[in-house]
Structure 1
Amino acid sequence: MPYHLPMSQAKTSPVHLTAAATGALPRALLLAICIIYGLAGLFGRDPWKNEDAAGFGVMWQLGSGGLQDWLMPNIVGRPYSDDGPLVFWIGGGMIRLLGGWLGAPDAARLATALFYFATCALIWYSTYLLGRRDEVQPFAFAFGGQPDARSYGRALADGALLIFLACVGLALRGHETTAQVGQVCFIAFTLYGLVRSLDKPVQGSLWFGVGLGALCLASGPILPLVLLAATLIAGLICRPLPLMRLLTIGAPLGVLIIAVWMATVYFGATVTDDAVTYIREWARYDRHTYGPPSLAAAGFIARNFFLFSWPVWPIAAFAWLSWRGMRRAPHVTLPLSFLAVLFVLLVLLRSPGDVQFILLLPPMAVLAAFALPTLPRAAINAIDWFSLLFFTILGGTIWFLWVAKTTGWPPRIASNVFRQLPGFQHTFTISAVIIALAVTVAWVLIVRWRLSRAPKQIWRPVVISAAGTTLMWVMAMTLWLPSINYGKTYRDVAQAAQLALPSTYTCVQPIRMGDAQLASFAYFGHIRFGGPDDGCDILLRHDAVDYGAPSSISHFEWRLIWEGRRPADRDERFRMYRLVDLSHTAPPRPTIQRRLPRQP
């Protein structure tokens, strides 16, 4: 249903465009950027520390485990209730289907690709639907020439997708096997439900309810609750939003999805107490995650968020300024309400990390898209030239360091590179070089096309930025993938620990080992882990410093049989101890000291 502001709030549209400014971005270029960016770095590497390896560990356990693992996800027996099971179900299903062909790590990352492409589609369609509404249409000229609503909405949607892809921090975090990649998708899913409800209230409410339920299953109860609060705020501000339909259809549907999952866990678990404990810990984890604002959290956000979300945040801020006369309209209210509550949640984190930053990107990209038609020429030129210089210098640096690593010249630069990766053996891979050269040539052609043709379309300020992030990520995942993989994997140290294990042992009890370490040692080292009640005769301990041997028991002693660490990490060390029965050990022979004759 078209939305018209009341006469008291009606403002002239800040957008003055001709039809030529809303020409669609070439579909081949847009799809190529999305596909290359999404698939680069997904295959041919190990799970990386920390969140990536932990998420893979849960998926691998599901892919190789039984029904109880699917009901209550875990890492080799250690319950994992930090996030809901939905993302891990999909990753575990991929391992079951394709793990024998691709290998478990690559198969698990197919779930990451699925969430990435779904997020791109949801951002595009959300912006497209908002961009077709009457209140956002460009100023109508007296003699015509303004774009039609369909073309205008498509141009805005292309811009939103390019803005999302241009985000610097999305590169690494968007390619990991973590629950957050699914949470980003379901945030975009829920936002799409709100947008769809503006013209189709029942259908949009169903989308909204499924999004809330899926988000809760992929995270915890806090995240969907704050989005529900954002919906209430948006409904009070934005009159076209069918708030009653959303609350009476969407919200109960989301609750039903969670109730069905909880009932399945409760009645399907072999031990009811374990199911109750798992659900209780899952519900409590969010409450332990958030707390009062702290200076440490504020400092971390101030240092990292603005670089992580560049260039999305300045464009989104300009959208708020440029549409100041229509801030109660859906295209501002809906994404901004989501963005505001998610940012508040970010500030309340007890231990903030950049992995949570990506949750803000879908609503921020949708909001930023509506700044593109209003950006002044000076701002467009500033974004273009900054991106051109930044990514050209960065790309040149990546090539220069790779040449130094490959040829050994200049010797000082080469030695500095290898100093960061002690023990790394560099190999020349012709296919990686060809791909890196191809994306470099593509970057030059895109820049030349952008600067020589000087297109007038509204998406032009972010083409170079999106192409630049794609260039950097592909080059990193080709020229530098072996080096990065060597520095971030636990493969070598886990396999070394496996070789140190006795030929027969009961189980290995992990001490102070994180989820990523536990998963990596179990997968790469094929180590059989156990709990405190399993009577394990091997201890594998993670020590930041040397705490000495574990306390001995009567007639038993813990003896060190191996210690090691990852070459690229000096802050962690692993020590393995074996339980030795002293009662079956032959006592040492007494030393006979011969008395020498006294010298005269």
Structure 2
Amino acid sequence: MRQANTSPVQLTAAATGALPRALLLAICIIYGLVGLFGRDPWKNEDAAGFGVMWQLATGNLHDWLMPNIVGRPYSEDGPLVFWIGALMIRGFGSWLGAADAARLATALFFFATCACIWYTTYLLGRRDEVQPFAYAFGGQPNARDYGRTLADGALLIFLACVGLAMRGHETTPQVGQVAFIALALYGMVRSLDKPIQGSLVYGAALGGLALASGPLLPLALLGGSAVCALVCKPLPWRRLAAIGIPLALLMVSAWLAAAYFGAADRDEAVTFIREWSRYDRRSYGSPNVATFGFNVRNLFLYTWPVWPIAGWAWIAWTGMRRAPHVAAPLALLLPVLVLLFLQRSAGDVQFILLLPPMAVLAAFALPTLARGVINAIDWFALLFFTIFGGTVWFMWIAKTTGWPPRIARNVFRQLPGYQHEFTIAAVVFALAATVAWVLIVRWRLSRAPKQIWRPVVISAAGTTLMWVMAMTLWLPSINYGKTYRDVAQAAAMALPPAYQCVQPIRMGDAQLASFAYFGHIRFGGPNDGCDVLLRHDAVDYGEPGNISHFEWRLIWEGRRPADRDERFRMYRLVDTARAVHPRPDLPRRRLPRQP
């Protein structure tokens, strides 16, 4: 029975007109694809994730079962996202290049997340308890149109999030994790009217999430779902648990069994599985001041504008907080939020995991927003993105023409050694995005549509403009500042013509992956007797210790021009006894292990 009397929403059918499909799809597709191609893997998480995918694509079964970066085990996250990326490299790498092909997996997860958000909100928006107040003489929207309009709003809110731009276009496990969180929420909502189908989707999402992360995140969501079932009676928790949990366990067990029985060294497989299962416990602990302060400073900006709208949804639906449209998103949002504040090391990598449930919850605030709030959101977005776009153009003109000279000098001071090149295609795309922004703003302000999605159209178009301009006008500059290509190739040129292998010292995953990919350097482990050392020295650690008749001689040092906090030094092992008294008739001496 329709529960219109308890709904805080009063709308007419005119307020639920669908957003033009062409506009919605254009914003979604452009936002999702721009920034994926024509660039290098960037330092830190992006380069590390690509390094694992590249190793799988060029490696053997051992690499697929136990992901690694040129032999260094990568057990921070499960292998599923890396499997998809490696398949993309194998299928499209010869056409697009390995880096661009790997980011096809990012696009796949991004569009899957968008689809899950839209359909989850659509199903919730059709439920009886959320329908607008029924007028005595009719005129209220029907359930289908209302659900579709809410779904459009949820997708626009998701695309409008400021923090999605960078993190949503990287080759990291988090792009897969966010997709499986959105899929888990869809499975919960689908189970409200189709319990078996929804439970299967929910179980597959938890299993996929475990294979894309670690055990703790899916367990946290499972606990949140159980609590949700206590307060939200329509949720068929018994069916979800009976079908979803065994399916998730089966998916994870299949990989663990394959890794154990398919490994040539069972002890190595046990070590890898143990490290994967324990990584979460080392990553989370009791709350600390550093993590709390970082999250407070950055989380609100990262999730703008979804967090105030989602907060208003909680306030507006005071009498219906146990209904699925409020309880289900919160069931997945709160566990992730708690985990963020329990991180031992602060970082924004996992902020993206909050966005799907927040966007779904925020969509139900749109029909309840007052006109003054709508106007404030519109004008803030219009002012902010117009100033941002104008600043980007102004800085680019200064960089290109050298005028004003002071601005141009400041730009190039941040990028020492950078040689600017004018690219007509980038200018054309940036101009097209700017014109599209102007047309959307003009349409929004002149037509003054009554639809409930109107507060977030300008915000979504603005973030799209922001990202398109950054990835066209400024892509070469950003790429120069974030890639290891030049320094890796310089290190490769300094290598001896004949060397056995290079042992990395204090090199992070992103650095190791980048040097292996760009420099084609043959890395080895501590037990491989390598005759070359490549060290990352954040500070001066001094020369490596010498061994009797052997010494390490510096043959190269360098760093990325845009980064003063790191320096790389390469040493070659030299046999001093043979250098002083050469004896070509003696057999070659076995190299000692490095310290």
TM range (shorter): over 0.9
Amino acid at match of 1:153: G
Superposed, 1:446-595 pairs within 5 Å as: 446-586=440-580
Residue of structure 1 equivalent to 2:591: none
Residue of structure 1 equivalent to 2:373: 379
Amino acid at match of 2:147: G
Residue of structure 2 equivalent to 1:154: 148
Amino acid at match of 2:347: G
The structure whose Rg is larger is 1
2-structure distance, mates of 1:12, 1:378 = 24
Residue of structure 2 equivalent to 1:224: 218
1:340 to 309, 318, 334: 334
Structure 1 residue runs of 4 or more that deviate by more than 2 Å after TM superposition: none
Instruction: After TM superposition, give the deviation of residue 546 of structure 1 in Å.
Output: 1.6
Residue of structure 2 equivalent to 1:266: 260
Amino acid at match of 1:93: L
Q: What count of residue pairs does the alignment treat as equivalent?
A: 582
Amino acid at match of 2:336: L
Superposed, 1:78-93 pairs within 5 Å as: 78-93=72-87
Structure 2 spans left out of the alignment, 5+ residues: 583-595
2:382 to 385, 388, 393: 388
Superposed, 1:360-439 pairs within 5 Å as: 360-439=354-433
Q: Does 1:233 align with 2:237?
A: no
Q: Does 1:316 align with 2:317?
A: no
Q: Does 1:59 align with 2:53?
A: yes
Superposed, 1:26-105 pairs within 5 Å as: 26-105=20-99
The answer on whether the counterparts of 1:202 and 1:245 sit within 8 Å (CA) in structure 2 is yes
Any idea what SS the aligned residue of 1:541 has?
strand
Residue of structure 2 equivalent to 1:23: 17
Instruction: After TM superposition, give the deviation of residue 3 of structure 1 in Å.
Output: 8.3
The answer on whether the counterparts of 1:221 and 1:286 sit within 8 Å (CA) in structure 2 is yes
Q: Does 1:183 align with 2:177?
A: yes
1-structure distance, mates of 2:302, 2:2 = 35
The answer on whether the counterparts of 1:48 and 1:485 sit within 8 Å (CA) in structure 2 is yes
Any idea what SS the aligned residue of 2:6 has?
coil
Amino acid at match of 1:210: A
TM-score (norm 1): 0.96
The answer on whether the counterparts of 1:18 and 1:145 sit within 8 Å (CA) in structure 2 is yes
Amino acid at match of 2:411: V
The answer on whether the counterparts of 1:11 and 1:325 sit within 8 Å (CA) in structure 2 is no
Any idea what SS the aligned residue of 1:585 has?
helix
For each residue in 1:414-439, what CA deviation from the matched residue of structure 2 results, as whole angstroms up to 9, or x when unmatched? 00000000000000000000000000
Instruction: After TM superposition, give the deviation of residue 259 of structure 1 in Å.
Output: 1.1
The answer on whether the counterparts of 1:11 and 1:326 sit within 8 Å (CA) in structure 2 is no
Residue of structure 2 equivalent to 1:596: none
Any idea what SS the aligned residue of 1:319 has?
helix
2-structure distance, mates of 1:295, 1:514 = 26
Instruction: After TM superposition, give the deviation of residue 12 of structure 1 in Å.
Output: 2.2
For each residue in 1:364-398, what CA deviation from the matched residue of structure 2 results, as whole angstroms up to 9, or x when unmatched? 00000000000011110110000000000000000
Amino acid at match of 2:242: T
2-structure distance, mates of 1:264, 1:502 = 40
Instruction: After TM superposition, give the deviation of residue 578 of structure 1 in Å.
Output: 0.3
Instruction: After TM superposition, give the deviation of residue 252 of structure 1 in Å.
Output: 1.1
The answer on whether the counterparts of 1:109 and 1:176 sit within 8 Å (CA) in structure 2 is yes
Instruction: After TM superposition, give the deviation of residue 585 of structure 1 in Å.
Output: 1.2
The answer on whether the counterparts of 2:159 and 2:463 sit within 8 Å (CA) in structure 1 is yes
Instruction: After TM superposition, give the deviation of residue 260 of structure 1 in Å.
Output: 1.2
Any idea what SS the aligned residue of 1:506 has?
coil
Any idea what SS the aligned residue of 1:575 has?
strand
Greater CA deviation, 271-280 or 128-137? 271-280
Residue of structure 2 equivalent to 1:134: 128
Residue of structure 2 equivalent to 1:143: 137
Instruction: After TM superposition, give the deviation of residue 11 of structure 1 in Å.
Output: 5.7
Instruction: After TM superposition, give the deviation of residue 548 of structure 1 in Å.
Output: 1.4
Amino acid at match of 2:35: G
Instruction: After TM superposition, give the deviation of residue 305 of structure 1 in Å.
Output: 0.3
Any idea what SS the aligned residue of 1:122 has?
helix
The answer on whether the counterparts of 2:5 and 2:133 sit within 8 Å (CA) in structure 1 is no
1-structure distance, mates of 2:250, 2:540 = 51
2-structure distance, mates of 1:442, 1:574 = 45
The answer on whether the counterparts of 2:177 and 2:353 sit within 8 Å (CA) in structure 1 is yes
2-structure distance, mates of 1:294, 1:379 = 36
Any idea what SS the aligned residue of 1:386 has?
helix
For each residue in 1:230-252, what CA deviation from the matched residue of structure 2 results, as whole angstroms up to 9, or x when unmatched? 11010000000001001111111
Instruction: After TM superposition, give the deviation of residue 352 of structure 1 in Å.
Output: 2.2
2-structure distance, mates of 1:209, 1:547 = 50
Q: Does 1:192 align with 2:194?
A: no
Amino acid at match of 1:295: V
Any idea what SS the aligned residue of 1:331 has?
helix
For each residue in 1:573-594, what CA deviation from the matched residue of structure 2 results, as whole angstroms up to 9, or x when unmatched? 0000000001101279xxxxxx
2-structure distance, mates of 1:501, 1:548 = 21
1-structure distance, mates of 2:420, 2:108 = 33
Instruction: After TM superposition, give the deviation of residue 353 of structure 1 in Å.
Output: 1.1
Residue of structure 1 equivalent to 2:589: none
1-structure distance, mates of 2:453, 2:475 = 32
Any idea what SS the aligned residue of 1:389 has?
helix
Instruction: After TM superposition, give the deviation of residue 572 of structure 1 in Å.
Output: 0.2
1-structure distance, mates of 2:251, 2:489 = 42
Residue of structure 2 equivalent to 1:242: 236
The answer on whether the counterparts of 1:3 and 1:240 sit within 8 Å (CA) in structure 2 is no
1-structure distance, mates of 2:389, 2:397 = 12
Residue of structure 2 equivalent to 1:598: none
Q: How large is the RMSD of aligned CA atoms in angstroms?
A: 1.0
Structure 1 spans left out of the alignment, 5+ residues: 5-9, 589-600
2-structure distance, mates of 1:144, 1:15 = 15
Q: Does 1:174 align with 2:168?
A: yes
Instruction: After TM superposition, give the deviation of residue 477 of structure 1 in Å.
Output: 0.3
Any idea what SS the aligned residue of 1:483 has?
helix
1-structure distance, mates of 2:6, 2:188 = 26
Change in Cα spacing, 1:138 to 1:420, as seen in structure 2 (3 Å) is same
Amino acid at match of 2:461: A
Any idea what SS the aligned residue of 2:555 has?
strand
Any idea what SS the aligned residue of 1:498 has?
helix
Instruction: After TM superposition, give the deviation of residue 186 of structure 1 in Å.
Output: 0.2
2-structure distance, mates of 1:545, 1:247 = 52
Any idea what SS the aligned residue of 2:139 has?
coil
Greater CA deviation, 334-343 or 457-466? 334-343
Residue of structure 2 equivalent to 1:255: 249
